Chain A
Amino acid sequence: MHETSTDDTTDFGYERVRKEEKAGRVREVFDSVASRYDLMNDLMSGGMHRLWKRFTIELSGVRPGQTVLDIAGGTGDLAAKFSQRVGPDGHVILADINAAMLSVGRDRLIDKGALNNISVSQADAQFLPYADNSIDCITIAFGLRNVTDKALALRSMYRILKPGGRLLVLEFSKPTSPLLSQAYDAYSFSALPFMGKLITNDADSYRYLAESIRKHPDQETLLEMVEDAGFVDCRYHNMTGGIVAIHRGVKG
């Protein structure tokens, strides 16, 4: 089912909250985990998130001189890779709604010496503050499920993409095998909060992570949403048995 705007509430994990509350609640979650975000990603996914992001970069087809917007870019690992790809004539914008995550990301990029063609911008995915038809490629990795109105965000991305530009949405999705699904559920609802408690002293944030993944649209639904936003040539690739999927759409 598509996310609809028939009432003024939305999902926050398994909870229903008022739409204007969600961004603040999500901010609290990421404020809490920002400093250990990458470490937790490595632990939770067993390093797989690096491979998922590697394939995302390959699929982007980004060339030197292009402009890339990495929404919900957090700690900047995708932005750093895109920075090498677009070269000195290109430009990468690392955008995130959360100031704490951006701060960690900017510090990382400075440490890597990768800020010469990267700019950092605090922006809401639903109301992207960039000119129409100005971006060659937009990526949003593990961020769309935290957005209050996903359809609005997709339309906003469509607006700023250049014709022929592409959108890549990397997000948790629905495992294709029932057996894997059961194992994944057991892992998400018991191991994740435990690890969160151990590393960041915050089990609730990681419980939200597991819940928000279950509430996120599955592969086919998200594909329809991307098409509804106006994108053409839309398709998705399942990774790691559908635990993660990458959706691609092109602005016609």
Chain B
Amino acid sequence: MQHDPAIIAGVTLALETAINETISLSLGTREALAQKCGACIAIYCSSPEVSVYFFVNDSGTVSLQNYSEAEITVSLSGSWRDFQTVAAANDAAGALVNSNISVTGDTAALIEIQQIVSDMDIDWEAPLVASLGHVAGHQLANALRGFWRWRTDSHRRISRQVSEFIIEEGRLSPSKHEIDAFLSDVDDIVLKVDRLESRIKRLQRQLKPASEPS
């Protein structure tokens, strides 16, 4: 289905504005992105059928387009669900490797940009101070920072405790170490089976001339 270009242009404009506003709050990110000036990441979504091109500008900002004829550095193709899964994953790089998304082009550039984005250190205090003043802005920023730290710590703690309960106390799932050992054993068996198969084939070849003289 062909989407209305004006609607897509509206979405990309809103997204571009939000991304650039966020980048402007992280000076380091802007400088790092400027080093990647000229890079173009194309995202081809098959369902719904939408193409979005991310261009990195020399000022460290990003431009989004839904049509481009420029040279593409790296392209990612997949369905909306695939992209959503990768975006929501804790380990985006690992999720990308194991997903149905196909990556074409210079993957090193993609990894570098992904690293820049994950290293983003946003100074949320600046816009709060600008709109609320120094005292109220600083206090609100401190409160938000405290809440964010509590949320991150709680999330990490709960995840660890749930994981410990499932693996150690409930024995509901094997530990990572046990899975690794099991997979290693499976690999050994696969190798041994391969070797056995080739030995059988060799023996069959050796026996053939004796039983079937030509």
The stretch among B65-73, B167-175, B189-197 that forms the contact with chain A is B65-73
- The distance from the CB of B202 to the nearest CB of chain A, in whole angstroms, is 61
Given contacts A59-B67, A61-B69, contact A54 B4 (CB under 8 A): no
In the complex, the answer to whether B4 meets A240 with C-beta atoms within 8 Å is yes
Given contacts A239-B6, A240-B6, contact A51 B13 (CB under 8 A): yes
What residue of chain B has the Cβ atom nearest to residue A240's Cβ?
B6
Chain A residues whose CB sits within 8 angstroms of the CB of B5 once the complex forms: 55, 237, 239, 246
In the complex, the answer to whether B67 meets A58 with C-beta atoms within 8 Å is yes
Interface residue A241 (Cβ < 8 Å from any Cβ of B): yes
Which of A50, A54, A61 lies at the interface centre, i.e. has the most chain B CB atoms within 10 A of its CB?
A54
Q: Which residues of A contact B (CB under 8 A)?
A: 48, 50-52, 54-55, 58-59, 61, 63, 237-241, 244, 246
Measured between alpha carbons, how far is A240 from B4 in the docked complex, in Å?
6
Listed from nearest, the 10 A-B pairs whose CB atoms lie closest are A239-B6, A51-B9, A61-B69, A58-B67, A55-B5, A51-B6, A58-B65, A54-B9, A55-B9, A240-B6
Interface residue B10 (Cβ < 8 Å from any Cβ of A): yes
Chain A residues whose CB sits within 8 angstroms of the CB of B6 once the complex forms: 48, 51-52, 55, 239-240, 244
Which of A52, A55, A238, A246 lies at the interface centre, i.e. has the most chain B CB atoms within 10 A of its CB?
A55
The proximity string for B residues 139-172 relative to A, scoring 1 for CB distances below 8 Å and 0 otherwise, is 0000000000000000000000000000000000
What residue of chain A has the Cβ atom nearest to residue B5's Cβ?
A55
CB interface residues, B 1-38, toward A, < 8 Å: 4-6, 8-10, 13
Chain B residues whose CB sits within 8 angstroms of the CB of A50 once the complex forms: 13
Measured between alpha carbons, how far is A172 from B118 in the docked complex, in Å?
44
Chain B residues whose CB sits within 8 angstroms of the CB of A244 once the complex forms: 6
CB interface residues, B 53-102, toward A, < 8 Å: 65-70
In the complex, the answer to whether B13 meets A55 with C-beta atoms within 8 Å is no
Q: Which residues of B contact A (CB under 8 A)?
A: 4-6, 8-10, 13, 65-70
Total A-B residue contacts, Cβ distance less than 8 Å: 36
Dominant secondary structure at the A interface: helix
In the complex, the answer to whether B67 meets A51 with C-beta atoms within 8 Å is no
In the complex, the answer to whether B10 meets A58 with C-beta atoms within 8 Å is no
In the complex, the answer to whether A58 meets B66 with C-beta atoms within 8 Å is yes
Measured between alpha carbons, how far is A58 from B70 in the docked complex, in Å?
10
Q: A55-B9, A239-B6, A246-B5 are in contact. List 11 more A-B contacts (CB 8 A).
A: A48-B6, A50-B13, A54-B9, A55-B8, A55-B67, A58-B65, A58-B66, A59-B67, A237-B5, A239-B4, A244-B6
Measured between alpha carbons, how far is A172 from B13 in the docked complex, in Å?
22
Measured between alpha carbons, how far is A240 from B8 in the docked complex, in Å?
11
Measured between alpha carbons, how far is A94 from B6 in the docked complex, in Å?
24
- Give 25 pairs: A residue, B residue, CB < 8 Å, sorted on A: A48-B6, A50-B13, A51-B9, A51-B10, A51-B13, A52-B9, A54-B9, A54-B13, A55-B6, A55-B8, A55-B9, A55-B67, A58-B9, A58-B65, A58-B66, A58-B67, A58-B68, A59-B67, A61-B68, A61-B69, A61-B70, A63-B70, A239-B4, A240-B4, A240-B6
Chain A residues whose CB sits within 8 angstroms of the CB of B70 once the complex forms: 61, 63
Given contacts A51-B9, A51-B13, A54-B9, contact A241 B4 (CB under 8 A): yes
